[in-house]
Structures are given as structure tokens and as C-alpha cells.
Amino acid sequence: MTGKIAGFDFGCKTFLTCSEGFEIKSPLFLKQSLKELKLASRNHSRKKKRSNSREKARKNLVRVHEKITNRRCDWFWKLAHELTDKYDYLFFETLSLKGMKRLWGRKISDLAFAEFLKILDFVATKKGKVVSYIDRWYPSSKECSECHHVLDKLPLDVRYWICPNPSCNARHGRDENASLNIKRAGSLSLGLDGVRQSQTATVV
């Protein structure tokens, strides 16, 4: 047990932004293999129906899909072990995946946030660590992590902002700020104010 806690913010450009000062980029396995997948799909569709060559092409298409899934799953397991080795308490926002898919489509499927969280929950339980989720409507991106002033609105394309509170004026990166607020909200919800905080920033 490390006694450390951390908050994590999911994103499309950065898979995870951690409150402890580092980001984790997604390999985007589907995007990497898109050319190979399109070629296999085109080859399958051009074969004569119920022919042996079409069946071979179908099996090849299945293998390409399985390769993408297996690579992503392997990366998820390794990441889950890495994070649970570092932290005892890991806090995340509650995601609206259906809404995200409507906005960003295939990229959300490629990131597979829900699949990662299932694996992380399993690994954390085995190790006696805690994965917890903050309220879905908590304004983690719009709240200043310094003075807790909450903005009326914050468009998705705004990545950096300055707190309008005259006594604060803190400059925030959207994702970094959200991860700090997620950590704080999660800690308060579980009464972890006295838990030792991580002081080390690590690059993954």
C-alpha cells in the first residue's frame, strides 16, 4: 500500500490526465490499423458469395479485428497494473459514453474508456485498491482548483482559461484542472482528507 491518491480526467486527445502531473496518450489501435482493416474488408466484399475465397477473406478480416482488440486489451491490463501499483485510491469522472459517441463517433470506440475501467476495477479489487467515481454532474472542468470559483460555461474548444475571481486569477489547463478537482471531490466523498498525497510527478 502506497497511501497515495490520484484523480484522472479522460480526454480524446489525451487518454488520461492525472492530478499528479502527467498525461497518458492512447495508442489508438483502431486508427493505427485502419488501412489494413479497410483492405481486408474490401477484399472480403469483392469475393463471390459462398465461395472458398470469400470464406478465407472473412477469416482474415476477423483476424485483423482480433489483433486490434488484443493489442488494446494488453495495453489496458498493463496500464491498470501500473496505476494500481502507484496509487491506493483512484478517482474518475462518470462518463456519458453515448453522448460522447454522438460527438466524436469512432474515436470513442477506439479509446474504449468503459473497457479500460472494467479491467481497472478488476485489478484494483484484486490488489485491495479503490476505484471510485464522482458525481456525473460535478463541474470538474469549470471549477477553479485553486479558489473553487465555478464558471457559468466553458465551451469544449477552450483548452486553457484564467479564473475570473480577482483574488485568484489562476491559469488552468482544462484537463489538468479537471483532474485536480476530481481528486479533491473523490477524496472528500470518501473522507480521505488525511491520506498522504503524492508529491512526485511522473511522465508515462
Q: Which of the two residues, 195 and 7, has the higher pLDDT score? A: 7
Amino acid at 121: D
Residues acting as catalytic residues:
9, 93, 175
Closest to 91 in 3D by CA, of 168, 184, 164: 184
pLDDT tens-digit map of 42-96: 888 888 888 888 889 889 889 999 999 999 999 999 999 999 999 999 999 887 7
Q: Write down the pTM of the prediction.
A: 0.82
Name the pLDDT band for 103 (thresholds 50, 70, 90).
low
Give the pLDDT confidence of 127-179 residue by residue, as tens digits: 999 999 998 889 999 999 999 999 999 888 888 999 999 999 999 999 999 99
Alpha helices in the chain (DSSP H): 29-32, 34-46, 52-86, 97-104, 106-111, 113-127, 174-189
